[in-house]
Amino acid sequence: MKNYKYNELAYAELIYNKGFQTKHVPTELRLLALYYRDVLGYKPKEREEKIYKFCKNNIPNFKKEKFFKPINKALRVASDKKQKFIIIKKIDIFKTELDYINNLDIQYEYKKVMFAFLVQIKLNKIVCEYKYDKEYNSIYFKGGTKKYNNIKKMANIPVKMSINDEVINKLEELKLITILFKGAILLDYINNCIQSEDIVFTITDFENVRLYLDYYNKVKGVKKCDGSCGVIIKIKNNKQKYCNECAEKINIQKTIDNRKNKTV
Ligand SMILES: [Zn+2]
């Protein structure tokens, strides 16, 4: 499944059209309730009716007693005006931030991890400021297997390279970070990543973050999609011009145009 963490509206739409997508039913019910409110404009009573109907249609052997709690919670969330969809379309990376990481005298794989953390901290900042409506400037990374695996995926370092035993320890040795407890760390170096005027690129694909660093460093086989999306891609051969999504759109358009030409 595509990562919808930073585009909850698209995720909600998918749930509405195709039913539950994961086992995280409470989360998905919350998004569905917000979708009823913000997209379809349903009033509270109608939201309640629709959400029960949806559950009956989409949960085998649905029993009200069993889902009463998460449904009520989702409806309560939708009644709270402060609750909104999280939608992050882009993250700006400044030349000074990138140059700081890029110019460090360390292995390239470590730079990819540092860059992934920088993007993650920027995402956290947007989410927190959106949710709590006050400025957020933390360099704290909570840790946990899932969060570290996510960073590893964003950075795309070799599978056999241990992010905790190798990368994190090395970065602490270099005094770039501080290890706290239970995998939590302070990303001290982020304070050296100063924002300037000069945006070097805008990240829209939060999963393949390291490609942006590769593109900046002119790594072979990495280029910007020729379509309108501006996403950085790893090409399979020299002829490839577009990312999968743009290629698909262009193919569909070509088919439509061909048909039109035939009928004229
Ligand atoms: Zn594209």
Whole-number Å distance between alpha carbons of 83 and 124: 17
Report CA(247)–ligand 1 centroid distance (Å).
7
User: Residues with Cβ within 5 Å of ion ligand 1?
Assistant: 225, 227, 229, 243, 246
Contact by Cβ (8 Å): 179, 187: no
- Are both 47 and 133 inside the same structural domain? no
- Are both 148 and 210 inside the same structural domain? yes
Q: Environment class of residue 102 by beta-carbon count within 10 Å: exposed (0-12), middle (13-18) or buried (19+)?
A: middle
Average pLDDT value for the chain: 92
Report CA(49)–ligand 1 centroid distance (Å).
40
User: Which pLDDT score, from 0 to 100, does residue 72 have?
Assistant: 96
Number of domains comprising the chain: 3
User: Domain range spanning residue 99?
Assistant: 91-219
Structural domain includes residue 84: no
Report CA(240)–ligand 1 centroid distance (Å).
11
User: Which pLDDT score, from 0 to 100, does residue 138 have?
Assistant: 92
Report CA(211)–ligand 1 centroid distance (Å).
14
Q: What is the pLDDT along the chain (264 residues), one digit of tens a residue?
A: 566 788 999 999 999 999 999 999 999 999 999 999 999 999 999 999 999 999 999 999 999 999 999 999 999 999 999 899 999 989 999 999 999 999 999 999 999 999 999 999 999 999 988 888 888 889 999 999 999 999 999 999 999 999 988 999 999 999 999 999 888 999 999 999 998 889 998 998 888 899 999 999 999 999 999 988 888 999 988 899 999 889 998 888 888 888 888 766
- Are both 102 and 113 inside the same structural domain? yes
Whole-number Å distance between alpha carbons of 145 and 160: 16
Report CA(228)–ligand 1 centroid distance (Å).
6
Report CA(250)–ligand 1 centroid distance (Å).
10
Q: Environment class of residue 7 by beta-carbon count within 10 Å: exposed (0-12), middle (13-18) or buried (19+)?
A: middle
> What token pair was written down for 84?
């909104």
Report CA(8)–ligand 1 centroid distance (Å).
21
- Are both 206 and 112 inside the same structural domain? yes
C-alpha triplet 255, 261, 263: angle, nearest 5°: 105
pLDDT tens track for 9-64: 999 999 999 999 999 999 999 999 999 999 999 999 999 999 999 999 999 999 99
Contact by Cβ (8 Å): 70, 52: no
Report CA(194)–ligand 1 centroid distance (Å).
30
Report CA(207)–ligand 1 centroid distance (Å).
15
Three-state SS letters, the chain: CCCCCCEHHHHHHHHHHHCCCCCCHHHHHHHHHHHHHHCCCCCHHHHHHHHHHHHHHHCCCCCHHHHHHHHHHHHHHHHCCCCCCCECCCEEEEHHHHHHHHCCCCCHHHHHHHHHHHHHHHHHHHHHHHHHCCCCCCCEECCCHHHHHHHHHHHCCCCCCCHHHHHHHHHHHCCCCEECCCCCEECHHHHHCCCCCCEEEEECCCCCCHHHHHHHCCCCCEEECCCCCCCEEECCCCCCCCCHHHHHHHHHHHHHHHHHHHHC
Whole-number Å distance between alpha carbons of 176 and 235: 33
- Are both 134 and 54 inside the same structural domain? no
- Are both 121 and 171 inside the same structural domain? yes
Report CA(232)–ligand 1 centroid distance (Å).
8
- Are both 251 and 202 inside the same structural domain? no
Report CA(3)–ligand 1 centroid distance (Å).
17
Q: Environment class of residue 171 by beta-carbon count within 10 Å: exposed (0-12), middle (13-18) or buried (19+)?
A: buried
- Are both 243 and 205 inside the same structural domain? no
Report CA(252)–ligand 1 centroid distance (Å).
14
Report CA(153)–ligand 1 centroid distance (Å).
21
Last residue of a domain, one of 79, 111, 132: 79
Report CA(248)–ligand 1 centroid distance (Å).
9
